[in-house]
Amino acid sequence: MGLAALHIWRGEDFPVYFYGQHYMGTIEAYLAAPLVGLLGTTTLALRLPTLALYSLFLILLYALSKRVYGPWIAVASVGFLALGADRIVKNQLIAGGGYPETAPMLTAVLVGVLAMKYRPRAWIAAGTGLLAGLIVWNHLLPLPYLVAAAVMLVGTPWRKVWPVLPGALVGVLPAIWHDLHTTFGHSLLGTFWHLQTTGPDPSAVDRIYGGAILGLPLGMGMCAPSHCEPWQFWWGPVYAALLVIAGVLAWRLPRSPERSMRLVLVVGALLTVVSYARNSAAGDSPIESARYLSCLLVSTPAWIEPIWRFAGAAARPAWQRLLAALPLVGAAAMAIFATVALAAHAHVYTSATVEQRTVLAALERDHVTSMYADYWTCNWIAYQTAENRICAVIGDDMNKGLNRYAPYWDRVEGSTSVAYLAPVDSPLDATLSATLPQSPIRAANYHVYLPTPSGQR
């Protein structure tokens, strides 16, 4: 995303999708481009927009929750999401595409839908449609919520909702423009079809475990970095039960836009969990793929509401109210635990930053400008050096790997002097040491095989 922002600022490229794939829009890159121009190719330039987006999300969620559920549930929801668990902080900071901007846009759409039921203004309807279209271009994860919100508008007079359609068309226009200029297999629809029809098929048990038992506490910010303890798995079934109870309570209310919005938040969350659990990623890579549950943060007031209602019922015995409050207390305790665990883990991220600077200093000292390295190394080298050093991705067998930005491969292959980088003791490092004649130098946790004439691979 940083490389896309750099290219946008220079006027060299205006990508519609994340480099190397044909889905996931580049809204973050366009937001960060002016800051990259002002602050340079720094991590800060990428993270200032994502932090602003998360702040906007909390403001919008408070407004939505206050209107639909009341002020105290709104305060409890924002307070829960203000805790700094690993997954929550990643949603706030990482400019990886699809997550920091999705939550505020989706919440704004729901606020707009609710406003349309009370104040039928053309600009509100058009703005709501525009955001919905931008969401479809940017990421498909919020589709369950968008479908539920669209159902909420069924029955609304046409004169109140028609501006939604041209607004949505404008929002999704980048994706339409791209797809009209590519083959089906390289379009958003083609990619979506490919994702739905190919790939490994883990067992139902693995998908349920990764999607609900492990995925829910991990994806909602209740676990230590990349790890959930078995005692935290209770949250999955409890969360599902709370959503069902919230749906029943909402269904029994008198008809109103607030009642409909409560059902949207419940149905959107349940469909998100079910669709994720059905995906192979839930069984294959549950730790990494828990980010696909990020939209559930929008439904935070939905699962808090039944707890708040039963725990705050003065007519009930004290022991029943205390029992009803346990899920919220337990969830908050896990989120606080996860926040402390992240603070204890912060030195790992700090060390990684120091190591990256050491590697860049070594490359500069030896005047290395073209190199081959693994997937997780190449892009940060290119971005942090403003493409003064270009890196092409190779696999552990030294053959061509997944190069997100294809021109880098051609530029490195055409270079007259090429170096190789590999994490120390990695499979790629073992292959390089057995293949290349020269001995590497050590730079932090990397081995750097200094330039040799291109073609000796």
Quick one: pLDDT at residue 21?
85
Instruction: Check pLDDT > 70 for residue 192.
Output: no
Quick one: pLDDT at residue 194?
47
**Residue 116 and residue 130: Cα distance in Å, rounded?**
14
Q: Which residue has the higher pLDDT, 455 or 310?
A: 310
Q: How confident is the model at residue 190 (pLDDT cuts 50, 70, 90)?
A: low
**Residue 221 and residue 236: Cα distance in Å, rounded?**
13
Residues contacting residue 210 through CB under 8 Å, at least 6 positions apart: 202, 277, 281, 282, 283, 284, 285, 286, 289
Q: How confident is the model at residue 189 (pLDDT cuts 50, 70, 90)?
A: low
β-pairing, 417-423 with 370-373?
parallel
Quick one: pLDDT at residue 257?
94
Quick one: pLDDT at residue 456?
47
Alpha helical stretches, state H, 69-199: 71-81, 86-93, 102-118, 122-138, 143-152, 158-161, 164-171, 173-180, 188-197
**Residue 41 and residue 384: Cα distance in Å, rounded?**
5
Residues contacting residue 226 through CB under 8 Å, at least 6 positions apart: 86, 287
Identify which of 226, 218, 208 has the alpha carbon closest to the alpha carbon of residue 280.
208
Instruction: Check pLDDT > 80 for residue 368.
Output: yes
DSSP state of 25: B
**Residue 214 and residue 222: Cα distance in Å, rounded?**
10
User: Which phi and psi angles does 448 have, rounded to 5°?
Assistant: -110, 115
Instruction: Please report, for residues 257, 284, 352, 388, 442, the alpha-carbon distance to residue 424 in angstroms, rounded to integers and kept in the order given.
Output: 59, 27, 14, 24, 8
Identify which of 421, 424, 426 has the alpha carbon closest to the alpha carbon of residue 451.
421
- For residue 446, the SS3 value is strand
Query: How do residues 85-137 score in pLDDT, each as one tens digit?
Result: 888 898 888 888 778 899 999 999 999 999 998 887 899 999 999 999 999 99
Identify which of 309, 298, 258, 296 has the alpha carbon closest to the alpha carbon of residue 68.
258
**Residue 297 and residue 94: Cα distance in Å, rounded?**
16
| Residue 390 · residue 412 · CB < 8 Å | yes
Query: How do residues 204-255 score in pLDDT, each as one tens digit?
Result: 899 999 999 999 999 998 999 988 999 999 999 999 999 999 999 999 999 9
β-pairing, 417-423 with 446-453?
antiparallel
380's tokens: 């940060």
Residues contacting residue 242 through CB under 8 Å, at least 6 positions apart: 303, 306, 307, 327
Query: How do residues 14-30 score in pLDDT, each as one tens digit?
Result: 999 999 888 899 999 99
| Residue 104 · residue 60 · CB < 8 Å | yes
Query: How do residues 35-57 score in pLDDT, each as one tens digit?
Result: 999 999 999 999 999 999 999 99
In the chain, % of residues over pLDDT 90 = 75
Quick one: pLDDT at residue 84?
85
Quick one: pLDDT at residue 438?
86
Quick one: pLDDT at residue 457?
46
Burial letters for 369-402: b for 16+ Cβ neighbours within 10 Å, e otherwise? bbbbbbeebbbbbbbbbebebbbbbbeeeeeebe
Quick one: pLDDT at residue 155?
86
Query: How do residues 330-347 score in pLDDT, each as one tens digit?
Result: 999 999 999 999 999 999
Query: How do residues 272-303 score in pLDDT, each as one tens digit?
Result: 999 999 989 899 988 888 889 999 999 999 99
- In total, the chain counts a number of residues equal to 457
pLDDT, average across residues 57-73: 96
Query: How do residues 403-430 score in pLDDT, each as one tens digit?
Result: 999 999 999 999 989 999 999 999 999 9
Q: How confident is the model at residue 452 (pLDDT cuts 50, 70, 90)?
A: low
In the chain, % of residues over pLDDT 70 = 95
User: Which phi and psi angles does 450 have, rounded to 5°?
Assistant: -65, 160
Quick one: pLDDT at residue 127?
96
Quick one: pLDDT at residue 188?
57
Q: State the average pLDDT for the chain.
A: 91
